Amino acid sequence: MTTTPTTSTAFDTAALRRGVEGRDPAALAELYAGDATVEIADAAHGPSDPLRLEGRDAIAAQLRDVYGRDMEHRVELATATDDALAYTVRCAYPDGVLVRCVSIAELRDGRIAREIIAQAWDS
């Protein structure tokens, strides 16, 4: 009897945590499908006109910008099923300003295919 090896397509929440907390935009970009989209609603981009990123290259550029800033990032909650991911990130700037990011995403083959992010800052 021959067995066929199975391949896992589960999303790696531990890799997400390592990438966020290690400020590693390249590792985080690898968690996205090549054709992924991300929508971000924040103070500069309201819900009716969110920042829209299309494709892994655009997402990677945004990740390099965010994780290149002098701030701490910590994943507070993260959970994934076969086809969905939800997580929260708490960020702190050296001056004490806090940012909270909440994300929900559709997964495809263990990668983020579509993500919606809402961010809020201390005033």
Q: Is residue 59 part of a domain?
A: yes
pLDDT > 90: percent of the chain = 90
Query: What pLDDT band is residue 9 in, cutting at 50, 70 and 90?
Result: confident
Q: Is residue 63 part of a domain?
A: yes
Cα distance between residue 10 and residue 86, in whole Å: 14
Q: Is residue 65 part of a domain?
A: yes
**CA 73, chain centre distance (Å):** 12
pTM of the model: 0.89
| Average of per-residue pLDDT values in the chain | 93
Q: Is residue 42 part of a domain?
A: yes
CATH code, domain with 40:
3.10.450.50
Q: Is the pLDDT of residue 49 over 50?
A: yes
Report pLDDT digits (tens) over 52-76: 999 999 999 999 999 999 999 999 9
Q: Is residue 6 part of a domain?
A: no
How many separate domains does the chain show?
1
Q: What is the pLDDT of residue 6?
A: 47
Domain that holds residue 64: 13-121
Q: Is residue 20 part of a domain?
A: yes
Q: Is residue 7 part of a domain?
A: no
Which DSSP state fits 23? T
